[in-house]
Structure 1
Amino acid sequence: MEIVRKAVDVAVTRLSITKTKSVRSTSASLQALTAAALALPGLIAPPVFAADEEVSFQYSHYQEGKRQLFDSKSTLNPIEVDSLQGSAKIKLADRIRFAFNYTQDTWSGATPITTAPLARNGNRWKGETINTGASPLIQATPGVFDKNFNPLKTDNPGDPSANVIGKDTRLAHTLSYASPETRKQGDFKLSYDFDNAALDIGGGISIENDYESRFGNLAGRWDFNKKHTSVSAGVSYTNSHTQALLDHAAYDYYHYKPFPFKDQIQNTSDGGHTLSGDREDWATHVGLTQIINKHALINIGLGYTYSSGFMENPYKAVTFIFVDPNSDNQHRLDKNLNGNYAALFEQRPNERNQWTPSLSYVQHIAPLDAALHVDYRFSSDDWGINAHTFELTWGQPLGDGWTITPKFRYYSQSAADFYQPVFLSKQGLPGSHALGADGLDTAKKYNALNPRSLPSNYSSDQRLSGYGALSGGVTLSKQFAKGVNFEVGFEYYSHAGALKLDGGGEGAYADFNYYMANAGMKVNLDSLATSLGESNHHAKHHQHTTHQHAAPAGVMFDHVLHNAGDVMVGYRYMYSDQSGNILHGNSIAKDSAIIQHGCANNTCSSAPSYMTMHMHMLDLMFAPSDWLTLMLMPQFVDMNMSTRELNGAPEDPNAHSHSGGHNTGGVGDTGLYAISNLFNKQGHQINLSLGISAPTGDVGIKLRDTHGLGGLFIHYGMQLGSGTWDFKPALTYTGALNNWSWGAQASGTKRLESKNASGFAFGDIFQATAWSGYNLTPWLSASVRGVYTVQGKVKGEFNNAHFGDSAEERPWGGSQDYTGNYGGRFWDVGFGLSAVVPNGDLQGNRLSFEWLQPVEDDVNGYQVERDGALSASWNYMF
């Protein structure tokens, strides 16, 4: 959801630190500064210098701490983000380079929707008081205020005649819970290097359920003064479209629903509403990089951005206090004033001009072989926000390929001119506007608000407030032989109004902390090419053996590393798709049968229409001895499911609705394996793999229900892991003769626990597969294989899967929510291609692809049929 993405967008983007890339020059000063810059791992540079060819993968986890809610009660978990990034930089020709980046973020948790006085107290749900910070279901409520319009607490919140207990001016954030949603972004850059200049052109797209952005950019660099001076300039354009779905709970929160976006709110077919808008951003920058001496350089930059269009956050609200001191019926006998609280959509200016000058200094400390980066950036816009950013980074090599990089950052900004935590309007509360038949207010209803009595722009978004932030972190990296680098990092961030540079920041209620942890791997292709040139015979040996014994991309544990000390790095991608008919056994089920039998003893109201899964895995293999290979396989998973209402299902307003789409994503389970060669003679091998799957994937993911409580588990198949420790053995036979290769494997998954922390356990799995391959050329082979898989039903069920027996307590209503509808027997046939780069800079790298086509499904219960699965892998062994 766009609110979730934007809620931490500023914090996340400020984590990046500018790094100077290697300079294509033979000068000693330039080489020294290149070494200094390269001491800072994991940092992305502006397009000033050409970069080495490399492939990299990085995972990061962002976790916010809880907000200060005082005596409010909230069980909502703070926002968290799991991110995966993959990138590649390759040389297409001597002067032409291509770079591609893919980023995927999955967001979930609670984020502030507005700020409200604690005296407001809110509504009740099932007899329990839901205070500020717990639910968006607060709506317009009466309040009592003193003559200075300070909120007063009463003994019966919501009753305008209640007795006053005392003054309470404390504020708290009202939190809104968001179900998991995923953003995916792909971008590219094509570069051409001249003798003393470079030109870059790039673009990309970012997509999520309610937000889409397309962008393009053009940048150039000119070197002169013997390449000691460089001037860079660039321009970019971004076009964004927001299509925010305002669910029933969120929409009811706003008292004046169409105001001020009456022409941008539309009805949906299921009775909901959407708020849409378009935005454009033009940005330009110029920069000057000057090498001062062989140990130092300085960079001066200036950026300008013009934004126009829909600038609001569609999920942010503004709390208004409506009190008319001139109305007799507003005055109480105790000389206090009656009034009302109400929420409006925020209103921001439809234009923004922003200037960003910056200054960076890089110093190589020769005695320590370290690099110091000092950066300052100032930002000023016509919204009234002035911001300062100071960053300090120290890159210190420790020897034997290790580098430690501590960093420190301070940020401070002033508040926007139209920001206030809570707004006061000295008028009575106008009548709430019901939507007309066409989804818009009539003129009469619209004029009742008298918009002249409100500010032109208003927002209580905490990101527009005045505050300061301190963050500190450290990155530890290890450079292995032949260009392979691993790194881990951690950063802790503290956001507080008291940290604002000149004081006067937001109150302590808005303070919060977060941490970010990341891990990454880089493979420098230039270094691989150099090492191959030095040991070409060894590389050819690996190329030959890897190719001849290559199993299809969907098969794992088919080979071992041959010599003690050998290392293999790889990436594996798997995609699966289910859509179309609902099966019962191996027959198509009608909706009427699903309604009656698909939800155990309950009536089904929905069923899946499609489900897709994307899985990204790293293959990290190391041979501590000639007979043993160890393997670590971390995973990142994201899934998307759409459901439909079953034809003929009875309408139950209290049933849990599943119509629409759901997303999940994040770290999956982590595999730890030991592989040993039992037999190896005359082209025949038998390998035994014994592994454990660690339950690192989340199995407690919940949905946001219509009351914003976030208390409903998402479907079993959409959880990120098993939640149990699993034993995973595999026995593999491979053979080869001339251009032919073949193999067979029996593997399984045995759950070592009867249930996980959420109350269930997936069924055990057994799989048998056999394949045959043929070398079409010395570097390309094709394969075909058959697969049989059997999986048991889910055991147990979610803790409190059904809130209760009464309709009011909202039982589940979809076939995907019942454990009997998982597992079965499946037959597939696969078709694959595998290629090894025979020579050149990428010699020895292997790429494999396989499509697995379902032949027959015999499912347990009622399940959507499978369409197929794709496996792709890349690896390099050295």
Structure 2
Amino acid sequence: MKNHSSALALAAVLSASPAIAHDVKADDHAPIGVMGDHTHEKGEVMISVRYMHMAMSENQIGTDGVTPDTIVTTIPNRFFGAPMQPPTLRIVPTEMNTDMVMIGAMYAPADWVTLMAMGSYITKDMSHITYQGGMGTTPLGTFETSPEGFGDISVGALFPVMKNGDRTSKSRQEMTVGASVSIPTGSTTETAQILSPMNAEPTVRTPYMMQIGSGTWDIKPSATFKGWDGKLGYGVQYAGTIRTGTNDEGYSFGDVHEGSVWVSYNAKQWISFSARTRARTTGRVDGIDPMIMGPVQTANPDFQGGERIDVLGGINLVATHGPLAGHRIGLEVGAPIYQNLNGPQMAGDWSLNVGWQKAF
């Protein structure tokens, strides 16, 4: 009898375990590549982990592709006249991969404001080809540079400025504005060993795009509008990065302005699919680091930035029952359809963003 009572008690506990359907939906949040799209209610906390991979390959000037042989025979070396500096570029990047792990936290001390913070660990890898001497198209060899480290930390706040309807409404809309500050905790003095055109292997400061941080305090405004109508969702977001001042090395990266438009289809409560278009403009580097010098395009501040449009497809999943209820996983993959680069500059190839989110 005692054993029978214990079994009944255990069954009651198990049946009372989290097995109640939650009112969350897979498309409550924007595609995982969109950040700062939502706020929380008073007392809520959300933790997120994202992994992002970005690949670049080949080179462009404006919208036109250009070969390494063309670059080393036609593009002047900005530093010609300095010791050991040839008249044209002699080192050309051929491929670059960036991997970033981002950990974020959000907390709502009140319904009208949600605080947020995010840090990252960044790994970059760039392949190059070096040409012999001061002219011609004879390759000397190849080399790679691979800096890594903790990036800049972002802290800020999101404010819900409009909400029409609630989760039970067939049609609803909301708008959120945000502002954050990027704290310059990432390194701007990374170094690497290279292969020079004179067949030497000096250790030098890596060019601008191979540094880990910006070195400046940056302002990051955003505005997001989202809506739902039955199983369909839609949204638009502006996000910017405005550089302030000059870093200790004597330069600042260009401002970034980015706009996204997306639609989603909530096939089931626990799964949705999304399609997104993202347009971005990035300014040139302003100023120059006197320690960044060499016959390579990435050392020239003028060969930075440009315009780019990407198309991305994604999937969002959310657990609605059981002990994993409320856990979210998102994936988004994309590639550029238009690039107009201040080149010669390596072009974007494709990107991947995978993330996990959980609110408490």
TM-score (norm 2): 0.85
Q: How does 1:273-672 map to 2 (within 5 A)?
A: 540-541=22-23, 543-544=24-25, 547-562=26-41, 564-579=42-57, 581-595=58-72, 596-597=74-75, 599-600=77-78, 602-646=87-131, 650=135, 659-672=142-155
> Following TM superposition, by how much is the alpha carbon of 1:590 offset from its aligned partner in structure 2, in angstroms?
3.6
User: What is the CA–CA distance in structure 1 between the aligned matches of 2:244 and 2:350, rounded to whole Å?
Assistant: 29
Candidates 798, 804, 823, aligned match of 2:305: 823
User: What is the CA–CA distance in structure 2 between the aligned matches of 1:555 and 1:874, rounded to whole Å?
Assistant: 13
Q: Is the 8 A contact 2:51 2:99 kept in 1?
A: yes
Structure-1 residue corresponding to 2:83: none
Structure-2 residue corresponding to 1:297: none
* Secondary structure in structure 2 of the residue aligned to 1:632: strand
Candidates 229, 234, 249, aligned match of 1:758: 249
User: What is the CA–CA distance in structure 1 between the aligned matches of 2:295 and 2:70, rounded to whole Å?
Assistant: 14
Structure-2 residue corresponding to 1:313: none
> Following TM superposition, by how much is the alpha carbon of 1:709 offset from its aligned partner in structure 2, in angstroms?
7.2
User: What is the CA–CA distance in structure 1 between the aligned matches of 2:18 and 2:319, rounded to whole Å?
Assistant: 16
Q: Structure 2 vs 1, CA of residues 856 and 648 (structure 1 numbering), >3 Å: closer, same or farther? A: farther
User: What is the CA–CA distance in structure 1 between the aligned matches of 2:160 and 2:106, rounded to whole Å?
Assistant: 15
Deviation string, structure 1 residues 741-789 (Cα, Å, up to 9, x no partner): 1100011110011x21122211000011100000122211000011110
Q: Is the 8 A contact 1:763 1:795 kept in 2?
A: yes
> Following TM superposition, by how much is the alpha carbon of 1:649 offset from its aligned partner in structure 2, in angstroms?
5.9
> Following TM superposition, by how much is the alpha carbon of 1:598 offset from its aligned partner in structure 2, in angstroms?
5.5
User: What is the CA–CA distance in structure 2 between the aligned matches of 1:658 and 1:751, rounded to whole Å?
Assistant: 37
Q: Structure 2 vs 1, CA of residues 795 and 855 (structure 1 numbering), >3 Å: closer, same or farther? A: same
In the alignment, structure 1 residue 674 sits paired with structure 2 residue 157? yes
User: What is the CA–CA distance in structure 2 between the aligned matches of 1:789 and 1:639, rounded to whole Å?
Assistant: 21
> Following TM superposition, by how much is the alpha carbon of 1:549 offset from its aligned partner in structure 2, in angstroms?
2.0
Q: Is the 8 A contact 1:642 1:660 kept in 2?
A: yes
> Following TM superposition, by how much is the alpha carbon of 1:705 offset from its aligned partner in structure 2, in angstroms?
6.2
Q: Is the 8 A contact 1:592 1:647 kept in 2?
A: no
* Secondary structure in structure 2 of the residue aligned to 1:776: strand
> Following TM superposition, by how much is the alpha carbon of 1:856 offset from its aligned partner in structure 2, in angstroms?
1.0
Q: Structure 2 vs 1, CA of residues 838 and 732 (structure 1 numbering), >3 Å: closer, same or farther? A: same
Query: Which residue type is aligned with residue 148 of structure 2?
Result: G
* Secondary structure in structure 2 of the residue aligned to 1:844: coil
User: What is the CA–CA distance in structure 1 between the aligned matches of 2:241 and 2:27, rounded to whole Å?
Assistant: 28
> Following TM superposition, by how much is the alpha carbon of 1:593 offset from its aligned partner in structure 2, in angstroms?
3.9
Q: How does 1:213-232 map to 2 (within 5 A)?
A: none
Deviation string, structure 1 residues 177-216 (Cα, Å, up to 9, x no partner): xxxxxxxxxxxxxxxxxxxxxxxxxxxxxxxxxxxxxxxx
Deviation string, structure 1 residues 696-748 (Cα, Å, up to 9, x no partner): 100011224688874x2112111101111000000000001111111000111
* Secondary structure in structure 2 of the residue aligned to 1:594: helix
Structure-2 residue corresponding to 1:799: 290
Candidates 210, 214, 221, aligned match of 1:729: 221
Query: Which residue type is aligned with residue 234 of structure 2?
Result: W
User: What is the CA–CA distance in structure 2 between the aligned matches of 1:766 and 1:709, rounded to whole Å?
Assistant: 37
User: What is the CA–CA distance in structure 2 between the aligned matches of 1:789 and 1:709, rounded to whole Å?
Assistant: 36
User: What is the CA–CA distance in structure 1 between the aligned matches of 2:76 and 2:225, rounded to whole Å?
Assistant: 41
User: What is the CA–CA distance in structure 2 between the aligned matches of 1:781 and 1:819, rounded to whole Å?
Assistant: 42
User: What is the CA–CA distance in structure 1 between the aligned matches of 2:345 and 2:316, rounded to whole Å?
Assistant: 33
Query: Which residue type is aligned with residue 859 of structure 1?
Result: L
> Following TM superposition, by how much is the alpha carbon of 1:665 offset from its aligned partner in structure 2, in angstroms?
0.7
In the alignment, structure 1 residue 685 sits paired with structure 2 residue 174? yes
User: What is the CA–CA distance in structure 2 between the aligned matches of 1:540 and 1:633, rounded to whole Å?
Assistant: 27
User: What is the CA–CA distance in structure 2 between the aligned matches of 1:598 and 1:868, rounded to whole Å?
Assistant: 29
Deviation string, structure 1 residues 12-59 (Cα, Å, up to 9, x no partner): xxxxxxxxxxxxxxxxxxxxxxxxxxxxxxxxxxxxxxxxxxxxxxxx
Q: How does 1:118-137 map to 2 (within 5 A)?
A: none
Query: Which residue type is aligned with residue 823 of structure 1?
Result: G
* Secondary structure in structure 2 of the residue aligned to 1:841: helix
Deviation string, structure 1 residues 125-176 (Cα, Å, up to 9, x no partner): xxxxxxxxxxxxxxxxxxxxxxxxxxxxxxxxxxxxxxxxxxxxxxxxxxxx
Q: Is the 8 A contact 2:124 2:210 kept in 1?
A: yes
> Following TM superposition, by how much is the alpha carbon of 1:550 offset from its aligned partner in structure 2, in angstroms?
1.8
In the alignment, structure 1 residue 699 sits paired with structure 2 residue 184? no
Deviation string, structure 1 residues 569-603 (Cα, Å, up to 9, x no partner): 11011110001x31100001244542232633641
Deviation string, structure 1 residues 792-827 (Cα, Å, up to 9, x no partner): 01111113334xxxxxxxxx1211211111100001
Q: Structure 2 vs 1, CA of residues 708 and 660 (structure 1 numbering), >3 Å: closer, same or farther? A: closer
User: What is the CA–CA distance in structure 2 between the aligned matches of 1:598 and 1:660, rounded to whole Å?
Assistant: 22
Query: Which residue type is aligned with residue 36 of structure 2?
Result: F
Query: Which residue type is aligned with residue 553 of structure 1?
Result: I
Structure-1 residue corresponding to 2:272: 781
* Secondary structure in structure 1 of the residue aligned to 2:22: helix
User: What is the CA–CA distance in structure 1 between the aligned matches of 2:354 and 2:319, rounded to whole Å?
Assistant: 16
> Following TM superposition, by how much is the alpha carbon of 1:534 offset from its aligned partner in structure 2, in angstroms?
6.8
* Secondary structure in structure 2 of the residue aligned to 1:559: coil
> Following TM superposition, by how much is the alpha carbon of 1:838 offset from its aligned partner in structure 2, in angstroms?
2.4
> Following TM superposition, by how much is the alpha carbon of 1:659 offset from its aligned partner in structure 2, in angstroms?
3.2
* Secondary structure in structure 2 of the residue aligned to 1:659: strand
* Secondary structure in structure 1 of the residue aligned to 2:71: helix
Structure-1 residue corresponding to 2:3: none
Instruction: Select the structure with the greater relative contact order (CA < 8 A; seq sep ≥ 6).
Output: 2
User: What is the CA–CA distance in structure 2 between the aligned matches of 1:608 and 1:801, rounded to whole Å?
Assistant: 15
Structure-1 residue corresponding to 2:359: 877
User: What is the CA–CA distance in structure 2 between the aligned matches of 1:730 and 1:829, rounded to whole Å?
Assistant: 20
Structure-1 residue corresponding to 2:325: 843
Q: Is the 8 A contact 2:27 2:316 kept in 1?
A: no
* Secondary structure in structure 1 of the residue aligned to 2:43: coil
User: What is the CA–CA distance in structure 1 between the aligned matches of 2:281 and 2:311, rounded to whole Å?
Assistant: 15
Q: Structure 2 vs 1, CA of residues 705 and 829 (structure 1 numbering), >3 Å: closer, same or farther? A: closer
Q: Is the 8 A contact 1:567 1:621 kept in 2?
A: yes
> Following TM superposition, by how much is the alpha carbon of 1:648 offset from its aligned partner in structure 2, in angstroms?
9.4
Q: Is the 8 A contact 1:727 1:749 kept in 2?
A: yes
Indicate the structure (1 or 2) with the bigger Cα radius of gyration.
Answer: 1
Deviation string, structure 1 residues 621-649 (Cα, Å, up to 9, x no partner): 11111111001101110010000135996
User: What is the CA–CA distance in structure 1 between the aligned matches of 2:77 and 2:261, rounded to whole Å?
Assistant: 37
Q: Is the 8 A contact 1:591 1:647 kept in 2?
A: no
User: What is the CA–CA distance in structure 1 between the aligned matches of 2:232 and 2:126, rounded to whole Å?
Assistant: 41
Q: Is the 8 A contact 2:145 2:194 kept in 1?
A: no
How many residues align structurally?
327
Query: Which residue type is aligned with residue 729 of structure 1?
Result: P
> Following TM superposition, by how much is the alpha carbon of 1:840 offset from its aligned partner in structure 2, in angstroms?
2.5
Q: Structure 2 vs 1, CA of residues 820 and 775 (structure 1 numbering), >3 Å: closer, same or farther? A: same
Segments of 5+ residues of structure 2 without an aligned counterpart are 1-12, 81-86, 166-171
Structure-2 residue corresponding to 1:739: 231
Identity of aligned residues (%): 29
* Secondary structure in structure 2 of the residue aligned to 1:820: coil
Candidates 330, 348, 351, aligned match of 1:866: 348
Query: Which residue type is aligned with residue 697 of structure 1?
Result: G
User: What is the CA–CA distance in structure 2 between the aligned matches of 1:647 and 1:764, rounded to whole Å?
Assistant: 36
Query: Which residue type is aligned with residue 588 of structure 1?
Result: G
Q: Is the 8 A contact 1:574 1:872 kept in 2?
A: yes
